[in-house]
Amino acid sequence: MYTGPDVGVTLKDTMYGHELWAWVMGAMSIAATISKRIDGYIILFVILFEYF
């Protein structure tokens, strides 16, 4: 599963740390499970843009 290395490094370097990254990974896994198409990742990016 593609995790987006650039995004991963940016998130891990923020003050939110690994807990937020773990939540993002969980959200990505849930989205990918619900929809095994690109739709799941669109949902993930919408969630990210809501909070960043």
pLDDT for residue 10: 58
pLDDT for residue 33: 76
How far apart, in whole angstroms, are the C-alpha atoms of residue 16 and residue 43? Answer: 21
pLDDT for residue 16: 58
- Count of domains observed in the chain: 1
pTM of the model: 0.34
pLDDT for residue 24: 79
How far apart, in whole angstroms, are the C-alpha atoms of residue 12 and residue 8? Answer: 6
Domain range spanning residue 21?
A: 5-51
17: left (phi over 0), alpha (psi -120 to 50) or beta: left
How far apart, in whole angstroms, are the C-alpha atoms of residue 22 and residue 27? Answer: 9
Report the chain's terminal Cα–Cα distance, integer Å. Answer: 23
Q: Render pLDDT for 1-52 as a digit per residue (tens, 0 to 9).
A: 455 555 555 555 555 566 777 787 888 787 777 766 666 677 778 877 777 6
pLDDT for residue 3: 53
